[in-house]
Structure 1
């Protein structure tokens, strides 16, 4: 298992007013939305996004999510959300880092784990389906990211 990712993407997020709670900080549940946006960008970059997953006959539910809140984000703050692919052979594991875009100050660290589930049978797969592995490995080879 890898502890460092093989490829990452970054997205920009400006905290909207409706994500802030009465304590004037981003409500904790909205960070999950920021992770999802970064994960979608990463999967698109890797050539196997959610429509491709669905077309291959597999759903990829999140089965584990961990977040560590270091400092709060506030209304109007510009954030950088980085998603980094760590594993894809038997499950999809992604690490995340949310930072202040201007200062680079760390705000949140997170990780998610997703597994393939056959849509027809609803059975969890013990290895990632070939369509996912092939697409990701092809793209990583193009990027020179495979070691």
Structure 2
């Protein structure tokens, strides 16, 4: 049975389908436009963070939960740790894949890894790690546990 392609609110996507692959990587394709770059035509470092967050939100959606649902449960997933390693600059006009996967959960800490690669996956541009923590939106404090619906979605693995 074919998997319907989600409608996304960005014009930044290529035609390649968004999906969770066999090895649990979620792939989010982007095309570099002028507003993503510095004056030299190389992607500005903050753009990578935006793409990574977009990919993470879409990966969650592909698992069955909209980020807005998490927010409606009174939970926010905030970045508490971020590391990025730049291997090669991405230039205006190029198309790349933002590859992400959830690698570990420790209580309310959720660890994601990223690889930003060429469409053929031969060139590595950036590697990154992000740790999120579940925070109660009402009082701003770290939650003791994830909402059960969120934990259930994040702990199930594709068969």
The TM-score, its normalising length taken from structure 1, stands at: 0.84
- Structure 2: where are the runs of 5+ without partners? 1-22
Indicate conservation of the 8 Å contact 1:26/1:72, yes or no. yes
Tell me whether 1:49 sits opposite 2:49 in the alignment. no
Select the structure with the greater relative contact order (CA < 8 A; seq sep ≥ 6): 1
- Name the structure 2 match of 1:84: 101
Mapped to 2, the partners of 1:7 and 1:56 lie a distance apart of 26
121 and 103 in structure 1: CA distance in 2 versus 1, 3 angstrom threshold: closer
Pairwise CA distance, 1:103: 5.6
Pairwise CA distance, 1:23: 2.3
- Say which SS state the counterpart of residue 111 (structure 1) adopts: strand
Number of residue pairs aligned between Structure 1 and Structure 2? 136
Tell me whether 1:37 sits opposite 2:57 in the alignment. no
Give 1:91-110 correspondences, 5 Å limit: 91-102=109-120, 104-110=122-128
Give 1:109-124 correspondences, 5 Å limit: 109-124=127-142
Q: Deviations over 1:59-105 (max 9, x none)?
A: 11111111111000000101011011112342111100001114620
Q: Deviations over 1:28-87 (max 9, x none)?
A: 111111101211111111222311111211111111111111000000101011011112
Aligned Cα root-mean-square deviation (Å): 1.6
